Structure 1
């Protein structure tokens, strides 16, 4: 890899770290190509990315970032996973590591917070941003539907009273 390629790689990682809500660092020693492809496909499905990069280039990309302390986990064969949703990448990596013991979660960074392996696992247990949005919308819609039913109830009662009077007059 020549100097220009290294600089391009650092800039790509720098951009990914800046735009991401979370960066998860893990070891992937022993994963087959098929397993790695499966992991990358799962990451794409949730809007996350996984990248294998040289540790020295990743350390340089981390420099000056709020979560730069996570660079201490960049030892050995590391896989970087990142996503805008702070939970998505962590959830996929942790779920995949439960099924495959060759993927070991080391730690990561979420904003300025450096996470250890337990922190990443705790983050993975949280609901995703989309799930939180859905729950919030459900909470907001529930009172509106209740108000609509309450408002419609008197009109329905009046209609039944009028129907009863009309039946009585007809008889």
Structure 2
């Protein structure tokens, strides 16, 4: 292997390490068996959600994980076969959520593991994580719970003022 190839590989490893460090999550997906059209559809869904989806050689990811440190689960057991990596930049749960939803109609797609905000999740626990509502849904629910008592209070004040107005007219 020439010096150019070694330098290129080192740059790729460094790039992957930076992605892992700068992302809220990294989901490992076994995409074996997907057609080109299905993979293109999945890439589009990830792109629309600002999730970076890449296919890397497992050895490159292992080396990048070693550089990042404390990522022993990116090992020979979990990184076997063709894997793609989905990096969640804005939303830690979104890559798992998109992949899980896609797998419902494309059973060949398999979520293998994830590194989310410093914690590792195997396929089983990752399935539970993917069911967590998105940040926007949780905020909407929270705001809705704030709005209900305020709306009731305003309605009550309005009813009281109408009652007083009626009493004043009689």
TM-score where L is the length of structure 1 = 0.83
Match of 1:169 in 2: none
54, 79, 84: which is aligned to 1:79? Answer: 84
Q: How many residues align?
A: 164
Match of 2:101 in 1: 95
7, 27, 30: which is aligned to 1:27? Answer: 30
Residues in 2 aligned to 1:127 and 1:67: alpha-carbon distance in whole angstroms? 28
162, 165, 170: which is aligned to 1:159? Answer: 165
Measure how far apart 1:64 and its partner are.
5.0
Match of 1:112 in 2: 118
Measure how far apart 1:135 and its partner are.
0.8
Match of 1:168 in 2: none
Answer yes or no: is 1:121 the counterpart of 2:127. yes
Cα deviation digits, residues 40-84 of structure 1 (max 9, x gap):
111122232211011122112222547613312222211111213
**Unmatched segments (≥5 aa) in structure 1:** 166-171
Residues in 1 aligned to 2:68 and 2:147: alpha-carbon distance in whole angstroms? 40
Residue pair 1:66, 1:112 contacting (<8 A) in 2 also: no
Residues in 1 aligned to 2:69 and 2:35: alpha-carbon distance in whole angstroms? 33
Measure how far apart 1:5 and its partner are.
3.2
12, 15, 19: which is aligned to 1:12? Answer: 15
Cα deviation digits, residues 6-33 of structure 1 (max 9, x gap):
3332233223212322211121122222
**Unmatched segments (≥5 aa) in structure 2:** none
Answer yes or no: is 1:133 the counterpart of 2:132. no
CA RMSD of aligned residues (A): 2.1
